[in-house]
Amino acid sequence: MRADFAIILSAGRRPANVIMIERLEAVLKRALEEPFARIFPGRLHPLELAAELRDAARDSRVRTTDGTFVANSYLVFMAAEDCQQLASISETVCAELAEHLRSYTDAEAWQIGPYVTVQLQPDAELSRSQVRTEAGFAACPETAYLQAQAGLPQVGRYPIGTETIIGRSRSCGTVIDSPEISRRHCRIAYRYVQYEIEDLNSANGTFVNGQQVQRATLLDGDLIEIGLVQLRFFVE
């Protein structure tokens, strides 16, 4: 058993990370205990995989003036035979491990963003029960866009890409010709793991879901209001 895992379990207190680990164990136990016991008898437990992923997240940290970002794309490599035996439950394994990473990074106040993925991959160089992990920053989603909801004569769809500036100026990536909108009103940009919106000292402010913001993370379905125009943010 990993030393850090043993220390956590032996501690008398019940801090947030213990509760987080217990939740993961409870969710995975029924679906995974028997398959993992068969594949990794006495050597590897699902929680050990979680510990490996936590280490990978910690090693990937990028500290910026806006906080600490960690990788949002994780590969768990194992022997081909082990991957094959886990095929029927791999979706459950990966989804729960991704959620575990979200909980862990939230507890550490690190930014992992909404697009966390964990994938199991075969590796011919690994023996049965061996595992290695890789972490990286996923490319910007190519399907992010804004959909006009109100305030414009026509319903339009505006692709975002990695970054766009919204405003009346023809130099903006997203041009909206409305008198209540500043020439350069706000910026939407993908930074490491998430989309962020930033007000560019506009005259009338930038609002997300009814709240005025200077800078905020955007999630799928968020409503952006600039002047009298409403735009819905989507990532397909």
pLDDT digits (tens, 9 = 90+) for 46-73: 677 888 899 999 999 999 988 999 999 9
- pLDDT value at position 25? 61
Whether 11 has a pLDDT exceeding 60, the answer reads no
Whether 27 has a pLDDT exceeding 90, the answer reads no
Considering only 86-90, 101-105, 131-135, which range has the smallest mean pLDDT?
Answer: 86-90
At residue 3 the predicted structure's pLDDT band, cuts being 50, 70 and 90, is very low
Task: Give the Cα-Cα-Cα angle 186, 67, 215 (nearest 5 degrees).
Answer: 20
Torsion-angle region of residue 15: left (phi > 0), alpha (psi -120 to 50) or beta? Answer: beta
- What mean pLDDT is reported for the chain? 85
Is residue 79 within 8 A of residue 123, CB to CB? The reply is: yes
Query: What is the average per-residue pLDDT within 175-187?
Result: 95
Whether 30 has a pLDDT exceeding 70, the answer reads no
Beta-carbon contacts of residue 18 (< 8 Å; ≥ 6 apart) = 8, 9, 11
pTM: 0.75
**How far is 127 from 223, CA to CA, in rounded Å?**
50
- pLDDT value at position 4? 45
pLDDT tens by residue, 218-228:
999 999 999 99
At residue 108 the predicted structure's pLDDT band, cuts being 50, 70 and 90, is very high
Share of the chain above pLDDT 90, in %: 58
Helix (H) or strand (E) segment spanning residue 191: strand 186-191
Cβ of 157: how many Cβ atoms within 10 Å?
Answer: 11
Considering only 108-117, 154-163, 226-235, which range has the smallest mean pLDDT?
Answer: 154-163
pLDDT tens by residue, 122-153:
999 988 878 899 999 999 987 899 999 999 87
Query: What is the average per-residue pLDDT within 100-105?
Result: 92
Considering only 80-89, 109-118, 186-195, which range has the smallest mean pLDDT?
Answer: 80-89
